[in-house]
Structure 1
Amino acid sequence: MAKQMSVISFTGKLGNLIGYKRNGEYFLRSMPEKVQQTAATRRASRRFGIASRKGAFIRHAFYGNLDIHCDSGHINRLNKLLIAAGDHHAAITGFRFNQHSGVDRFFTVAPRLFSNGILNIPAQTIAGYKGVAALEVKVIATRIDFTSRQVAGSETVTLMIDPDTTFQETNVSLEVPGKGSLVVVFQVRAMYRDGPSRNRQYMAADIIAVAAPQVPKYAKKRTYPKRTRLLPNLTYTHAYPAIIQLE
């Protein structure tokens, strides 16, 4: 590993060298002359490729609505979570786009998502910070179909909260129809009188919930009595979809 000292730095492949960025600095490493893969390394490579593509899809689904600066390591951190998670996407709950601060810094009692699409923010005391006039809370709910890699829709709700006060319980309805999982990001920014804070300790954006797609359930088949015009010895049934009662 060598550090790039030139005026123009680069990332990617250049000849037999690979440039990459880590913690804001640029480095070089040489490519191996020959790579011999085993069955295990090929499986690991496939898992990494799937996780990387899925991670890029998730990030770009939220980038347009985020108002904070993500830390330089958030891409690798999300990929590691996805590799371990496999198809269990709820495992990315708790992921921080900014590792230097989390939602729990501002809300000691965590918000929770009910399966009926209601995000409950419990009542609690919001701490005050020197010079901070308000806390901006932005809830970003995005419906993601991980199979087809499509975003079905997105909804954002913004709240302004006075710091150093008792926050009253609030319910936010997140209605994002479509197929796929509902991924919810909870963003908090400290606001001064002249605009948002640029201190990374006073901005957070965490994935607080991943609701799996709802599998439709159907009511029991209703059997209708035979009518004179129907063929004999045949039973006609009609299945009606049940209304899904969420928690």
Structure 2
Amino acid sequence: MAKQLSIITFTGRLGNLIGYRRNGTHCLRSMPAIVRQTAATRKAAQRFGMASKRGALIRNAFSGKLDVTCDGGHINRLTSALIPSAGNDTSSITNFRFNRYTGTDSLLPLTPRLSRNGVLHIPPQTLPAHKGISMLEIKVVASRIHFATGQVVATESAVLFAKTGEPFKGAACDVDIPGTGTLIVVLQVRGLQDHIPSGNRKYFAADIIAVQPPQPLHPTPHKRIYPKRLRLNLPSENTAVAAAPQLLRPRIQRE
């Protein structure tokens, strides 16, 4: 491995040289004169290619909806989770963290559960108090991805707020996006102080909490299926709503 010390650095192929970046340093290596591939290495390359393609689809589906800054290695980590099954077993990415430094369980102790009818239940719980954090922004992002055709069918999101250090009476969110493909649900939690996001990355988390494989679709003939918005149902006496009445109506973004 040689380091690039010139003023102008590059990545990619240049003649018989390949430039790349490793741990923030630009490096250089030469291309091999002869590449010998066995059946095993060809299969490994195919698995990597499929996993990389599906990982890119997942990232593109959520990139415009997430407000959490991903760590620098999230692309490789996501691809690595998909490689063993060549991307066919997407359930392997359940609990994947877009920010590896913080998981949603550190801010929201009880994990939400996705029911078979497509409703995500956030259980009642007492939210832990954090220094410099008065409120949590809880965002649910759901995406339907058709991996066979390489298309993102639809991506929807919904947001609610809850005060820290106080009982939270739970919520339910309908995430069953119509269409054919795999349903992937991401939970994003951010710590806020006076409605301003904290600058500390340990209060930013975004995890894939549920992956639902494609379900048989039997639409009525000549009936068009329209995408729907995610809806959050809150208890009538939720302390989070009482603390911030102007935020009673969840903000819903739609692509």
State the 1:6 CA deviation: 3.9
CA pair 3-189 structure 1, distance change in 2 beyond 3 A: farther
One-letter amino acid of the structure 2 residue matched with residue 77 of structure 1? R
Where 1:179 maps in the other structure, the secondary structure is: coil
CA pair 194-141 structure 1, distance change in 2 beyond 3 A: closer
Rounded Cα–Cα distance in structure 1 between residues aligned with 2:10 and 2:142: 35
Quick check: which has more Rg, 1 or 2? 1
Equivalence for 2:181: 180
Where 1:41 maps in the other structure, the secondary structure is: helix
Is the 8 Å Cα contact of residues 24 and 72 (structure 1) preserved in structure 2? no
One-letter amino acid of the structure 2 residue matched with residue 35 of structure 1? V
Is the 8 Å Cα contact of residues 184 and 211 (structure 2) preserved in structure 1? yes
CA pair 147-163 structure 1, distance change in 2 beyond 3 A: same
Is the 8 Å Cα contact of residues 180 and 217 (structure 2) preserved in structure 1? no
Matches of residues 202-241 of structure 1 in structure 2 within 5 Å? 202-216=203-217
Matches of residues 122-161 of structure 1 in structure 2 within 5 Å? 122-161=123-162
Rounded Cα–Cα distance in structure 1 between residues aligned with 2:161 and 2:106: 17
State the 1:7 CA deviation: 4.1
CA pair 105-8 structure 1, distance change in 2 beyond 3 A: farther
Note the aligned Cα RMSD (angstroms): 1.9
**Gapped regions of structure 2 (runs ≥ 5):** 219-255
Rounded Cα–Cα distance in structure 1 between residues aligned with 2:51 and 2:110: 31
One-letter amino acid of the structure 1 residue matched with residue 205 of structure 2? A
- Deviating more after overlay: 191-200 vs 148-157: 191-200
Is the 8 Å Cα contact of residues 189 and 196 (structure 1) preserved in structure 2? yes
Q: Percent identity?
A: 52
Is the 8 Å Cα contact of residues 141 and 158 (structure 2) preserved in structure 1? yes
CA pair 4-161 structure 1, distance change in 2 beyond 3 A: farther
CA pair 109-47 structure 1, distance change in 2 beyond 3 A: same
State the 1:59 CA deviation: 0.6
> 1:203-244, CA deviations, whole angstroms, 9 ceiling, x for partnerless residues?
111110011111258xxxxxxxxxxxxxxxxxxxxxxxxxxx
Where 1:115 maps in the other structure, the secondary structure is: coil
One-letter amino acid of the structure 2 residue matched with residue 74 of structure 1? H
Rounded Cα–Cα distance in structure 2 between residues aligned with 1:159 and 1:7: 49
- Deviating more after overlay: 80-89 vs 63-72: 80-89
State the 1:17 CA deviation: 2.6
TM-score, normalised via structure 2 length: 0.80
- Deviating more after overlay: 27-36 vs 132-141: 27-36
State the 1:27 CA deviation: 2.9
- Deviating more after overlay: 193-202 vs 152-161: 193-202
One-letter amino acid of the structure 2 residue matched with residue 45 of structure 1? A
Where 1:142 maps in the other structure, the secondary structure is: strand
Is the 8 Å Cα contact of residues 102 and 202 (structure 2) preserved in structure 1? yes
Is the 8 Å Cα contact of residues 17 and 28 (structure 2) preserved in structure 1? yes
State the 1:201 CA deviation: 1.4
Q: Tell me, yes or no, if structure 1 residue 81 matches structure 2 residue 118.
A: no
Equivalence for 1:35: 35
Rounded Cα–Cα distance in structure 2 between residues aligned with 1:85 and 1:145: 17
- The runs of at least 4 aligned residues of structure 1 exceeding 6 Å deviation read none
**Gapped regions of structure 1 (runs ≥ 5):** 218-247
Equivalence for 1:162: 163
> 1:19-75, CA deviations, whole angstroms, 9 ceiling, x for partnerless residues?
323444433333222211111111111111111111111111110111111111111
> 1:106-130, CA deviations, whole angstroms, 9 ceiling, x for partnerless residues?
1121111111110011111211111
One-letter amino acid of the structure 2 residue matched with residue 167 of structure 1? F
TM-score, normalised via structure 1 length: 0.82
Residues paired across the two proteins, number? 218
Is the 8 Å Cα contact of residues 181 and 210 (structure 1) preserved in structure 2? yes
CA pair 29-141 structure 1, distance change in 2 beyond 3 A: same
> 1:109-157, CA deviations, whole angstroms, 9 ceiling, x for partnerless residues?
1111111110011111211111112111111000011111111111101
CA pair 40-185 structure 1, distance change in 2 beyond 3 A: same
Q: Which structure's relative contact order is higher, taking Cα pairs within 8 Å and 6+ residues apart?
A: 2
> 1:165-206, CA deviations, whole angstroms, 9 ceiling, x for partnerless residues?
111121111141111011001011111226212322111111
